Structure formats: C-alpha cells, structure tokens
Amino acid sequence: MGFGDLKSAAGLRVLNDFLADRSYIEGYVPSQADIAVFEAIATPPPADLCHALRWYNHIKSYEKQKASLPGVKKALGKYGPADVEDTTGAATDSKDDDDIDLFGSDDEEESEEAKKLREERLAQYESKKSKKPAVVAKSSLLLDVKPWDDETDMAKLEECVRSIQADGLVWGSSKLVPVGYGIKKLQIQCVVEDDKVGTDMLEERITAFEDYVQSMDVAAFNKI
C-alpha cells in the first residue's frame, strides 16, 4: 500500500489517479492523513496533474490549522492504493539536492576543504529554495444576489456589485435567473485569493447596497 516515491513524477501520477474520484486521502474532511501525504511532497504537482494539484492547494490552505485536523498521522505506506509500494524517502530527490551532506559525518573529522565545499553547497541549496514562488490559494465563487422585488433595476444592482474592488478579487461572467413572480436574481462569478478576500466580506459589502439588494448567498465554492 502506498503512492510510491511522492518526490518523483511517477509517485505524483499515482497520487493524481488516486484523487480522481476523492476529495481527501481518507474520508470526507481534511485530516492528518492529508497532512502526512502533503508533507511528503517536495514541490506542488504540475498543472497536468489537475486532481493532485487541486488537492495540494486545498490542503495548503489548512497550513495554520493542520495540528487541529482530526485523525492520527500514520506512516506513508498506510495510505494510497493497495497495489503500490511506498518508497517515499528511499529514492533520491534530485542531483543538486541529494549530493549535499547537510550534517557531515559523526565518525570522521572533516577537512577544511570539505567543510568549505559543504557550506558553499548548503548556501546554494538554501538560496535556490528561497527563490521558489509561493503557491497562492484561490477559490472560484458563484454568488446569488437577490433583489427586493420585480421593480428593482437589475442593471444598476449588477453595477453596484461590480463596483466592489479589492486586492485578490476578480469579477467574472454573470446572468439573470428567474426565481418566480417576475423576479430575477443576479448570478455572478468571481475568483478570490483566500488569504485576502472572504465570503463574509463580500456579503457585507454587497448587502450594503440595501436599496437594491435583499440578500446574497454563495451558490458554489470551488478551490482552484
């Protein structure tokens, strides 16, 4: 049982296939199983492994709450497909990274030249890691904005909604959807950066246009 080497392309493909019909490693909510697998991955999965990348970005958004997630973290070999041997950590990560002895040897004295070389390569390694771009967690939202009655100016209502501007907020397409008795609601899409824009903030600012807006609901919420 396992995913193979999760630091390799082959291991990530196994993970991607495993998550094709699952939201999480185990169960229906984020747990310590997700954290254990997440921490075994060296870098975010590539874009063509869409299921693994979607899961990776979602679990990354729980970084500050990971200690409070349910479950008990087990060995990596306890997760994943039953017919795959877990070899995470057994294979080498990359030529640049694995040639570096970060701690030296406890059994023999290190020469000055070897020590200098090790420190130089360690500095190069840390510099390379620090330049890797951070992954920005984003979500796609579909909002239902309801007017007071069939006499509400829906064009003006949409204008008010789109007038809301914030760092990390991008408005998308929209349409009017009948809800009955001649009343139509506005359905509008947007993409938000999770650390900058929340649904509570959107609801507060949209319902502030109280001459036009009766209420706002989140009709769909998907991690990107």
Question: Residue 163: is its pLDDT beyond 90?
Answer: yes
Percent of the chain clearing pLDDT 90 (strictly above): 48
**CB atoms inside a 10 Å sphere around CB 151:** 8
Confidence bin at 5 (pLDDT 50/70/90): confident
Q: How far apart are CA 93 and CA 95, in angstroms?
A: 7
Q: How far apart are CA 161 and CA 185, in angstroms?
A: 13
Residue span(s) of the chain under CATH 3.30.70.60 come to 136-221
Q: What is the pLDDT of residue 11?
A: 87
For 117-150, the pLDDT digits (tens) are 888 888 877 777 666 666 778 999 999 999 999 9
Question: Residue 93: is its pLDDT beyond 50?
Answer: no
Q: What is the pLDDT of residue 192?
A: 95
Q: How far apart are CA 89 and CA 95, in angstroms?
A: 14
Q: What is the pLDDT of residue 118?
A: 80
Confidence bin at 74 (pLDDT 50/70/90): confident
75 vs 154: which has the higher pLDDT: 154
Residues 176-194 have a mean pLDDT of 94
14 vs 134: which has the higher pLDDT: 14
H-helix or E-strand spanning residue 179: strand 169-180
Residues 144-170 have a mean pLDDT of 95
Percent of the chain clearing pLDDT 70 (strictly above): 84
CATH class for the domain made up of 136-221? alpha beta
Question: Residue 90: is its pLDDT beyond 80?
Answer: no
Q: How far apart are CA 43 and CA 131, in angstroms?
A: 13
Question: Residue 157: is its pLDDT beyond 80?
Answer: yes
CB 150 within 8 A of CB 181: yes
Q: What is the pLDDT of residue 87?
A: 57
HSE-up of 101 (CA within 13 Å, CB side)? 10
HSE-up of 188 (CA within 13 Å, CB side)? 25
Q: What is the pLDDT of residue 109?
A: 53
